[in-house]
Every structure is written in C-alpha cells, then in structure tokens.
C-alpha cells in the first residue's frame, strides 16, 4: 500500500471528524427546532350574577370577561370591536361601574353583578336610554350601540353620585350635566358612523337637560 500524501491525510482526517460529529449535530438541530411540549390550560370556576341570573362556568384563566359573555353565555349584544380597550364597543356595567370587558379577565370578577345590553331592557319594555337612542336615531350601523347605551346609563349614574370628570369646573360641587360634560364622559365610546350629535341628544333627553327645541 503506497503511503498517503499530506493532502490525502488531511482530507481523510476531516472526513472522519465529520462522520463522528454529524449525528450529534443533527440531534442538536432537531432539538433546536422541536416545539416545547404543550402545557394544558389552567381552568378555574367562576360564578357571576349576569342580568339578574347566576351563572357558573369552568373557564381558562386567560378568558376575558368579554369572551365569557359572548362565547360561554351567548350574550352577543356586547360587541368585540378592537379587543384592545380603545373603542368601547364591549362596555358593560360591572358592580355599578362601566368597564371595557375586553381588558379584564373573567376570573377577576368572582361574585360580581354584571349588566349587559340584554339586561337593560327588552324589545317590549325598553330601558329609557334604549328608547331615547331609537327616537333620536343615536346609531347607524348599530355595532357600537350596545356599548354606547351601557356607557350612557353609567354616565348618568356617575353624575348623580357626584363623580367629576376632566372637564368638571368645580370638583367640590356636583357636576353640571352639559354637552361638554357628556362628550368628555362618553369619549371612550367611538362611533365610526359619526352619530355623536344624536347620541348626545338621546343622553340629554334621558337626563332631562335637553330643551324642547333641541338646543342646550
């Protein structure tokens, strides 16, 4: 057998080293791309009073209050708009306060009293705010309307309770419910159709601050 040249010896050594290292490299590459094992969701029981009825559900702890209402209780009047707390379409009244239900987890509201648009009134017996929205055409496509109405109902309760807003002139006195006060308090509820003037009319009508001619 003829002796190997230096070049041939180096080639043979490199080939042997590659053959030894290849299985380990392949395993490392496989491990790097293999997905982590799926972790089962954490489930918790939550019980709430929704529109006067007690509901108990087992939910993933990541479930928002909005998804509990829509997907678990089939109360689809509460709308999913931006799902980031920016449009107000998902507004409901929880323990007397309006909140964006897309921004809070269902399990955070154990025992809470929740009122959605379905709980305010019925087609046969509308809530005064629902009736005013109909009479004043306070909607166009209607998608934002449930959140607008729930928010408007809560706004009047806030004013009755003497809670000031950013435009309240005298923080020591009960807020005067003028157009600026209403606009500020309703600013978190967006209407892409632009029915704001009629929404304002409807709220003033229910509040009793709207003049007969419509001017305030």
Q: In what order do the strands lie in the sheet with 91-94?
A: 53-60, 43-50, 113-115, 91-94, 97-100
- Judge if pTM exceeds 0.85: no
pLDDT, mean of residues 12-24:
60
Distance CA 85, CA 83 (A): 6
Q: pLDDT for 89-142, tens place per residue?
A: 999 999 999 999 999 999 999 999 999 999 999 999 999 999 999 999 999 999
Can you say whether the dihedral through the CA atoms of 23, 25, 27, 33 is positive or negative? negative
Q: Between the CA of residue 187 and those of 66, 76, 146, 191, 201, what are the distances in Å? A: 20, 23, 15, 10, 15
Task: Decide if domain 121-216 falls under CATH 1.10.150.120.
Answer: yes
Say whether pLDDT at 166 is over 70: yes
102 with 66: CB under 8 angstroms?
A: yes
What pLDDT is stored for residue 34 in this prediction? Answer: 67
Distance CA 216, CA 178 (A): 8
Residue owning tokens 């080293």: 17
Length of the chain equals 216
Kindly list the domain boundaries of the chain, sorted by start residue. Answer: 43-120, 121-216
When pLDDT is cut at 50, 70 and 90, the band that residue 211 belongs to is low
Token pair for residue 109? 């509201």
Say whether pLDDT at 12 is over 80: no
- Based on DSSP, count helices (H) and strands (E) in the chain, helices before strands: 7, 5
Q: pLDDT for 174-187, tens place per residue?
A: 899 999 999 999 99
Task: Decide if domain 43-120 falls under CATH 2.40.50.140.
Answer: no
When pLDDT is cut at 50, 70 and 90, the band that residue 40 belongs to is confident
């Amino acid at each position: 057998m003829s002796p190997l040249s230096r070049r041939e010896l180096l080639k043979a050594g490199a080939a042997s080293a590659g053959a030894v290292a290849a299985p380990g490299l392949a395993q490392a590459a496989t491990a790097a791309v293999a997905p982590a094992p799926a972790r089962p969701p954490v489930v918790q029981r939550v019980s709430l009073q929704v529109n006067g009825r007690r509901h108990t559900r087992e939910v993933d702890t990541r479930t928002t209050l909005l998804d509990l209402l829509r997907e678990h209780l089939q109360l689809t009047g509460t709308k999913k708009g931006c799902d980031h707390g920016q449009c107000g379409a998902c507004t409901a009244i929880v323990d007397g306060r309006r909140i964006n239900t897309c921004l809070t987890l269902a399990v955070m509201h154990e025992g809470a009293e929740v009122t959605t648009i379905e709980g305010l009134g019925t087609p046969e017996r509308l809530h005064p705010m629902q009736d005013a929205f109909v009479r004043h055409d306070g909607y166009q496509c209607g998608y934002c309307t449930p959140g607008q109405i729930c928010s408007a109902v809560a706004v009047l309760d806030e004013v009755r309770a003497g809670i000031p807003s950013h435009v309240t002139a005298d923080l020591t006195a009960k807020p005067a419910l003028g157009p600026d006060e209403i606009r500020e308090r309703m600013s978190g509820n967006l209407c892409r159709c632009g029915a704001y003037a009629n929404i304002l009319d409807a709220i003033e009508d229910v509040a009793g601050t709207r003049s007969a001619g419509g001017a305030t």
